[in-house]
Structure 1
């Protein structure tokens, strides 16, 4: 594990709130956001990138303006968030490298997709504070990870050459034919070993799934050492996510990168509805998360 450079550390400081903990609003979803805005595949396909960009702009205005940072995609959201003066000057900007969806190998493993042409230099050109990459990992199946880990390796090297902050995210997934119970039993190990793999490649900031327990969170913190990690919401209901945030923060997490748990039932193709719900529902949810983060972060020795 290698420490952050001065430039990377400055980027990290900017994606954190004043108290020093990460509080990032994630709205880099595209396919997932379309599925929330319309029910049928035909209606979803009709939603343009411009419409998604408007939705992300509303999330930025109402939520990200109250947090340290917003995470968006490089297709729908930027450069508009910057060029149209939507992003507040003191709210940091992370830009995702990963494309929507995934490819499937003949063996049934997920192969991560990246947006073509989105490099560290391009993220900088778009006004980003840093980048974010997501790859799929199944650490109990080494053959599942070869291509995805190579993609991650190359991105980490690219951002290191540019001396630019990169947040590394990975997701685990249930295999075809695997029972929910078997997958749940493996989840803590899958997350812990995924963390280890990302660190071995030089990750300096992590965004990871909730690993299932306080013990697993503590294990992540032990392995990560000085590398900060944030827990992601994975679209779980807000009440459940609050409990996960509490446990993660008490066990050494450095913050939260939250998306759908905040805004999944607040966005609409009717922007007036979106604005009302984001203000009246999502912002109070954000305040609850921030209260946990600030209480737990201050309580550390």
Structure 2
């Protein structure tokens, strides 16, 4: 297990519930958030930067401030949401370092940093914790690969800055790989990706739901004591609640939820958005916290009929 420093332990406590489980509202999406804000013919391009910033401010004010922590981006949300006092004093700030999209080299995906964002600038933005997304195909890339080197380098930079780093990992389909082939490999890919990240020094992981209780147990074993939180990957709230309960029961240490909480509260006028964030998204957050902390979810949560990796998850991207 990669041990946390004293500063990292303090940061870990800040992003966790009183029961010690990670719970973070994800609002670092840019194109993904624009996409759910409009049904105009030109799609996300019809949403201006100011409109996106206003939506993020509402998310923080009416939802994120009720969670232990919120994940925000340094392109639209920050530093303004800190500087104008929108972010509550008691809510920890996780700063997403990854830019939108990815580059492809020899069929493999690589993410990029937001221009100018470093471990030091995360601190300067008021961040308590950093988060960086890496794409990984562990059947093609190991700890000695380019992505392994990138993870090690960032882990070291954050350690030197006294900054806790959450390593988010997504797997994906290769060119020429069928959905059925990818689905069969998916649980093992997630587990192997977790193992490689831990070998590269990762101390906290953000991972897709690996499809089942067995898959979750595999990930926990591969993580070798490093805590991991399950991400929502755009599934609906009820599905995510069931996934989280299965994952937590099999070793996951929490959840990071974005669109499952707020996606159906944004495609409305601002005044309606604020009301829906309070009346719809906030109760979802409270239910999620209860499940993260060990309360039963509504309905059956066994592997029989439990959510798998179909749909959004098999596409392998949460997309900033």
Q: Secondary structure at the match of 2:252?
A: coil
CA deviations over 1:133-156 (Å, ceiling 9, x no partner): 00111112228x933333222211
1:196 maps to 195
Moved more, 171-180 or 258-267: 171-180
The 5 A counterparts of 1:90-105 are 90-105=90-105
Shift of 1:82: 1.1
Structure 2 unaligned regions, length at least 5: 297-320
Structure 1 unaligned regions, length at least 5: none
Counterpart Cα distance in 2 of 1:129 and 1:155: 16
CA deviations over 1:223-278 (Å, ceiling 9, x no partner): 32332110000001111111100101111111111101111111136211211221
TM-score by length of 2: 0.88
Counterpart Cα distance in 2 of 1:37 and 1:150: 37
1:273 lines up with 2:306 in the alignment: no
Q: Which runs of 4+ in 1 moved over 3 A?
A: 39-43
1:187 maps to 186
Shift of 1:296: 5.2
Counterpart Cα distance in 2 of 1:40 and 1:194: 38
Counterpart Cα distance in 2 of 1:267 and 1:217: 31
TM-score by length of 1: 0.93
Moved more, 226-235 or 216-225: 216-225
Counterpart Cα distance in 2 of 1:133 and 1:281: 29
Counterpart Cα distance in 2 of 1:193 and 1:17: 28
1:291 maps to 290
Q: 1 or 2, which has the higher helix percentage? A: 1
Q: Secondary structure at the match of 1:246?
A: helix
2:304 maps to none
1:127 lines up with 2:126 in the alignment: yes
Please tell me whether the aligned partners of residues 210 and 244 of structure 1 are also in contact (alpha carbons under 8 angstroms).
Answer: yes
The 5 A counterparts of 1:35-114 are 35-39=35-39, 42-105=42-105, 107-114=106-113
- Cα RMSD, aligned residues only: 1.9
Please tell me whether the aligned partners of residues 38 and 46 of structure 2 are also in contact (alpha carbons under 8 angstroms).
Answer: no
Moved more, 35-44 or 120-129: 35-44
Q: Secondary structure at the match of 2:94?
A: strand
Please tell me whether the aligned partners of residues 192 and 222 of structure 2 are also in contact (alpha carbons under 8 angstroms).
Answer: no
Counterpart Cα distance in 1 of 2:44 and 2:292: 35
1:170 maps to 169
The 5 A counterparts of 1:145-156 are 146-156=145-155
1:218 maps to 217
CA deviations over 1:201-230 (Å, ceiling 9, x no partner): 110111111011111211222232332110
Shift of 1:41: 7.1
Q: Secondary structure at the match of 2:93?
A: strand
Please tell me whether the aligned partners of residues 26 and 259 of structure 1 are also in contact (alpha carbons under 8 angstroms).
Answer: yes
Q: Secondary structure at the match of 2:126?
A: coil
Counterpart Cα distance in 2 of 1:120 and 1:28: 17
1:229 maps to 228
Please tell me whether the aligned partners of residues 249 and 296 of structure 1 are also in contact (alpha carbons under 8 angstroms).
Answer: no
